[in-house]
Structures are given as structure tokens and as C-alpha cells.
Chain A
Amino acid sequence: MPEIPHDIIMAAAQGDVAAFETIYRGCAGMVYTTALRITNNRECAAEVTQEVFIAVYRKLPSFAFRSSFTTWLYRISVNAAINQVRKRAMEKGHTVAYDEQTMAEHTATPATDALEREPTRQLIARMLAALNPDQRACIVLRNIDGLSYEEIAITLKINVNTVRSRLKRAREKLIAMRAREVRHAV
């Protein structure tokens, strides 16, 4: 995770918009990517990113530096993304299908690399699409963002055993999905 200098955070807390833009440029990728992987949808991810940064700007004066700034921002992002998924699911009455095109857009890598990575990108998109939002959040936090079970438990406000069981079920589902894909291809 990117680390933001203390003086930049303090300046942004005082209302310095240029300092806040520095924070945005440094962390927007992390917030957006996490939101996109959890919400399934780039419009939702953009909306979550926007709401997270507006909320952070308002809350910055009360940020007490008990944890690192980026850890704080990351937790806000994950929870905002999960809330967004739940809100949309309730609005539509069903879970949203994973937008497979999301991963193909807005990448920070050059075009040729992006093309080479396309199969992997689509595979990740399909795998995440096969999971429910809670399982998806655990897989994103563990497999992509590299958090420990304890860190995931704190971020999602669940206990470590729940993290473990969600990861187990998610991974069983992913293995079954890949097995079906391989059989289908053969």
C-alpha cells in the first residue's frame, strides 16, 4: 500500500485541496481496484471511490493516526464497496453479475502488456464473479491485497474462524468452477 507523508495528511486535514489531491493521486488506484473487485462493476467502483474520498476529506481532521493512513483508507474502501454491493443487491433483488469487461479497462499497464495479460485478467474476473460478495471480499483481501487472516477479520469486522471458513468455501467453489471449465474445454 502507498504511504502518504504525515505533513501532506496534516495539510489536507487543514483544508489544503492540493495536498488532498496528492493523497488522491497516491491512493485512488488502490481504492478503485479494491472497489472494482468487490463490486463487480466499474460504475459502482467509480462511485465508491468518489464517496470514499469525499468522506475521507471530511473525516481527516479527526483522523488520530492510531493506524496508518492507508490502512484506514483501505478499511473505509472495503466496507464502502461491500455496502454498495448490498445496497445494489437489495435494490435489484438479486446479486449483480460480474462485469467481465471491467478488468480490461483503465489499467495502468501499457497496451501490449495489457493484451498479453488479457487471459489472466479475464480469468480473475470470472473467478471473482463466481463468488458471493462476502467470499469475494475475503479472496480479494487475502489473495490480491495480501492481508493476513487477522487483518481481514479486523477490516471486515468478523472473527478469524469466519475468515477461514469463507476462504475455504470460496476456494472450493473456485476449484469446482475451474474443473468445469477445463472439462468443457476438453
Chain B
Amino acid sequence: MRCEQIQELLLTDHLDGRLRRSEQEKLAVHLRNCTTCREFAGIAKATLLTPFLEAEQLTPPERVWQEVRQRIVAAPRRSCNPLRAFLGKLLLPLPVARQPALVCAGLVAVALLTAILMRPPYYGSGPSAVSHAKPIDYAAILTGEDEVDDEGEGLDTDIENYFL
């Protein structure tokens, strides 16, 4: 490895303890033989790690809490729907309830299933139904009265008139 690559590793993965064993071994071999990189490793550790080890936690001024308190008391949250709160508590332990996308997909699936199952039976009244200009009078067919209806329904051609 070149010095440039070694120094990049020293600044990142080495400093943050992310080097694999094989990379650590290569780095150690290089550092044994290269004074420049060895010095760079020392500077990086002293400059970039040591000061931050002593970084301390600070406390915000008390007025911050006073302001927060005043604002949350002055504008309380919208009251939660008790049914929703109850369902939330009931379903929270289920992993699926914590995935909004899964919950939505489930609701859509239930709605579709319900729509399919609850659909009213089909009576053929739609536009695709076969329409009859004149309903067939089955009783008339049986009694022979339907022959009367044939009058006047011919093609009205000369040959037809001749025979009739």
C-alpha cells in the first residue's frame, strides 16, 4: 500500500477501530518500515482523539424548561380518541401493527374482500343483457294463438303477396 492509502486508513478506519485483521497486518508492516506514516499515526491519534475524550456534557439554562413548560401547558395536545388509544395499546405488541404500510395494505385487502363477498347477485339488467323487443308469450305458443301475431310481419314482397 502507498503512503497516501495508509494515511487515509489512519484517518478513518484505523482511528475508528473498523480495520479488518488482514488490513491491520498490512498497516502494521507499513508503519514498521515508514517513518513518515508512523509520525502521522501519532499526530492523528494525539490531535483527533485525545481532546474529544475530555469533552463534557453541558446543561441548558433553566429558562429553556420554563419556556417548554409554558408552551406545552398553554397549548395542550389534542385529546386522543379513547377507542384509538385502546386499539393502539391492544395492537402495539404485534409487529405488524408497527408497520403503517402493512396495516394500510391489510385494510385495503379486507375492504376488497368485503366488497366482493357482499356484492348483490346479478340479474342481467345491465347493458350487456340481451334485449327482446317483444317478450315471447309462451302461453300463446302453447295455445296456438301466436299465429295471429304473424300477420303483417311478412316481408311484403310481390311473391309473398301472390301466395297469401
Segment from B27-35, B65-73, B146-154 that makes contact with A: B65-73
- A33→B49 CA distance, assembly (Å): 19
Segment from A51-59, A68-76, A90-98 that makes contact with B: A51-59
Q: Inside 8 A of B59's CB, which chain A residues have their CB?
A: 28-29, 32, 106-108
By the criterion CB–CB under 8 Å, are A29 and B57 in contact?
Answer: yes
In the complex, how many angstroms separate the beta carbon of B46 from the nearest chain A beta carbon? Answer: 9
- A36→B61 CA distance, assembly (Å): 12
By the criterion CB–CB under 8 Å, are A21 and B65 in contact?
Answer: yes
In the complex, how many angstroms separate the beta carbon of A99 from the nearest chain B beta carbon? Answer: 13
In the complex, how many angstroms separate the beta carbon of A136 from the nearest chain B beta carbon? Answer: 12
By the criterion CB–CB under 8 Å, are A61 and B77 in contact?
Answer: yes
By the criterion CB–CB under 8 Å, are A143 and B52 in contact?
Answer: yes
Chain A, interface size category, equals 35 or more
**In the complex, what residue of chain A is closest to B49 when comparing beta carbons?**
A143
CB within 8 A of B60: which of A28, A109, A123? A28
By the criterion CB–CB under 8 Å, are A107 and B58 in contact?
Answer: yes
Segment from B12-20, B120-128, B135-143 that makes contact with A: B12-20
In the complex, how many angstroms separate the beta carbon of B85 from the nearest chain A beta carbon? Answer: 8
By the criterion CB–CB under 8 Å, are A106 and B58 in contact?
Answer: yes
**In the complex, what residue of chain B is closest to A31 when comparing beta carbons?**
B60
Q: Inside 8 A of A171's CB, which chain B residues have their CB?
A: 11-12, 15, 44, 48
Within 8 A of B (CB), among A127-186: 127, 139, 142-144, 149, 164, 167-168, 171-172, 174-175, 178
By the criterion CB–CB under 8 Å, are B43 and A50 in contact?
Answer: no
- A124→B55 CA distance, assembly (Å): 8
By the criterion CB–CB under 8 Å, are A15 and B56 in contact?
Answer: no
By the criterion CB–CB under 8 Å, are A46 and B61 in contact?
Answer: yes
By the criterion CB–CB under 8 Å, are A168 and B12 in contact?
Answer: yes
By the criterion CB–CB under 8 Å, are B16 and A175 in contact?
Answer: no
CB within 8 A of A142: which of B16, B54, B80, B98? B16
Task: A28-B64, A120-B51, A175-B48 given; name 17 further pairs at CB < 8 Å.
Answer: A17-B72, A20-B72, A21-B69, A29-B59, A32-B64, A46-B64, A54-B68, A57-B72, A107-B59, A124-B52, A124-B54, A124-B55, A164-B12, A167-B16, A168-B12, A172-B11, A178-B43
- 12 inter-chain pairs at a CB distance below 8 angstroms, sorted by A residue, are A29-B57, A29-B60, A32-B59, A32-B60, A50-B71, A54-B72, A107-B59, A127-B51, A143-B52, A171-B44, A172-B11, A175-B48
